[in-house]
Structure 1
Amino acid sequence: MKVTVIGTGKVASNLIHILSDKNLLHTVYGRSQEKIDSAIGLKTNIQSSHSLDFRNNPSSVFLIAVSDRAIKEVASGLLLPPNAIVAHTSGTCTREDLLDPENTGVFYPLQSFTTSLPIDFSSIPILIEGSNEWTEKNLIDLATHLSTSVQVTTAIDRQQLHIAAVFASNFTNRMLHAAEQVLNQASLDISLLRPLVELSISNVFTTGSQQSLTGPAQRQDHATIQNHLEKLDATPELRTLYETLTNYIQASYIKKTATLKR
């Protein structure tokens, strides 16, 4: 199996790195040779292309790893060899965005990527969808070369996972940014929170989110909550955020546990 990666961004760069290490990568497509060279690095056995005409390319799988809004545009310009599989790496776009109804699929690595540090793919969940059994099997085979966590999902399930990932990753990042803002007011460094954050995250995956929850809202410590709100008066956006999340804890934890006790 040989693979062509279409794109040179964060997801594409990480796929290029791991596929090259596994000796599966044949070609990288990009509009800029500079970006292609940056993504390929020192690997001299990888072909580069500025054309979407791949009719003479020996790859059997073509992975479109571009922004969601560019998938349809790229797919509409593709010329592929017979029986080739084309899949995108998006968590939100559907397989139908690839336009060709024959051998299309989704190859979605559930992870947040950067271009600076290649990520270890071995435990990253890769979610697969195929237009037919043959396509699905080939995408699964490719995914198992990269990761030990491979799962077939529907478009609806994948989109739900993407929403959950936003809560778990992007929103967590902004919560830590909010914490950093509070600490900055006291000239304290966010590194002080690292042991607490790491243990809190670990506890969620070992004992569950409900069982591992702590804090003044969970304890219904109204005096502490009011004290915190008063101290946040100077930063209204943080006070509003604190109130919103406190209300959510009371709705999702306290009311639920009260129901369970009945």
Structure 2
Amino acid sequence: MKTDVTVIGPGNWGRSLIAALRSAGIPVSEVITRTRRSGTTTIAAAQLNARILWLCVPDGAIAEVAAALVQRRREQGNTLRGQVVVHSSGALTVAPLNAARKIDAAVASVHPVMSFPTQRIVPLWNVLFGVEAQQPEVKRRLYAVIRKIGGKLFAIRSAKKVFYHAAGTMASPLLVSELSAAMATARMAGLSASEARKCVEVLAKATVQNVFAHGEQNSFSGPFARGDVATISLHLQALAKHPIVEVYRSLAQYAVQALPVKRKGEIQFLLENETGMKTTGRETLGNSRSRKQ
């Protein structure tokens, strides 16, 4: 049975999905937007006849859009029997699609483990997709689409899905946050923004490559790996009046728990009791940056 797809919500992710489907020769029957523009339609005017109706909308809009699809199908005098309604959330289960399930749709979620920060088309070749689906036929259909656009896939259980999404959040947007904190700290040393960026870039790239080539245990280095309590204390004192000290402390505490840190007891005590870590009088990020500019 030939598969065609209707995409609802051509935002950053939706645009990349549409490009990948078309490149793979999978027909995109309709592109649905909130307001009609060139090459698109709205739910109120949509035919909704595709085998797969793929929602590429924010998590908070999934249930609302699913309900709108159901309303449109009822206006047409039809159900969603034989069709699959898919959302793209990595955090939510298929529960927000219950309205579609009530009129006989099969439901699933297919989440790309990739960042789509802008409208630039991101190639999906070798991108990993987490798939939540129950029916074997639905799995086969979705797996075939993912493979045809060049993706890799794994099945995800509903009850554990939020942990998978939290991992992705730590590996991408929160990684950006940590690198931003590192660059801000480098600027405190008097480096220009470009110098701080280059300083962090070289070290971060080498570290990430080492982690995925040799594992995190074999890539851990620096004062924590050496058990250099005096240096860690200097870091905490220097950062004491800046909110970045909390980032440093949080990452350090996890390192003590999970990575090969020497003199763990002394370092844990230092992290919990270093007087320089008191919050009173701490300057704000904005104030610190304004003086550096």
Shift, 1:58, TM fit: 4.0
State the alpha-carbon separation in 2 of the partners of residues 249 and 84 from structure 1. Answer: 47
- 1:232 is matched with which residue? 239
- 2:40 is matched with which residue? 48
Residues 1:161 and 2:164 are matched in the alignment? yes
- 2:223 is matched with which residue? 216
* CA RMSD across the alignment: 2.2
Structure-2 change in CA distance of 1:243 and 1:33 (3 Å)? same
Q: Is the Cα contact below 8 Å between 2:53 and 2:83 reproduced in 1?
A: yes
Residues 1:9 and 2:15 are matched in the alignment? no
State the alpha-carbon separation in 2 of the partners of residues 67 and 32 from structure 1. Answer: 16
1:243 paired residue among 249, 267, 272: 249
State the alpha-carbon separation in 2 of the partners of residues 59 and 165 from structure 1. Answer: 30
Percent of residue pairs bearing the same amino acid type: 24
- 1:41 is matched with which residue? none
State the alpha-carbon separation in 1 of the partners of residues 252 and 80 from structure 2. Answer: 56
Q: Is the Cα contact below 8 Å between 1:125 and 1:147 reproduced in 2?
A: no
2:184 paired residue among 181, 185, 208: 181
1:136 paired residue among 128, 134, 139: 139
- How high is the TM-score relative to the length of structure 1? 0.85
State the alpha-carbon separation in 2 of the partners of residues 12 and 257 from structure 1. Answer: 49
State the alpha-carbon separation in 2 of the partners of residues 106 and 148 from structure 1. Answer: 15
Matched pairs, number:
245
- 1:43 is matched with which residue? none
What amino acid does structure 1 have at the position aligned with 2:232?
A: I
Shift, 1:8, TM fit: 2.4
Pairwise mapping of residues 200-211 of structure 1 onto structure 2 (< 5 A)?
A: 200-211=207-218
Q: Deviations over 1:52-81 (max 9, x none)?
A: 565x44421110110111100111121265
Q: Deviations over 1:224-252 (max 9, x none)?
A: 111112221341x1122212222221222
- 2:51 is matched with which residue? 60
Q: Is the Cα contact below 8 Å between 1:29 and 1:51 reproduced in 2?
A: yes
In the alignment, structure 1 segments of 5+ residues that lack a partner are: 38-46
| Segment of structure 1 superposing worse, 56-65 or 172-181 | 56-65
- 1:76 is matched with which residue? 67
State the alpha-carbon separation in 2 of the partners of residues 226 and 57 from structure 1. Answer: 62
In the alignment, structure 2 segments of 5+ residues that lack a partner are: 74-78, 265-293
**Residue 127 of structure 1: SS of its match in structure 2?**
strand
- 1:95 is matched with which residue? 94
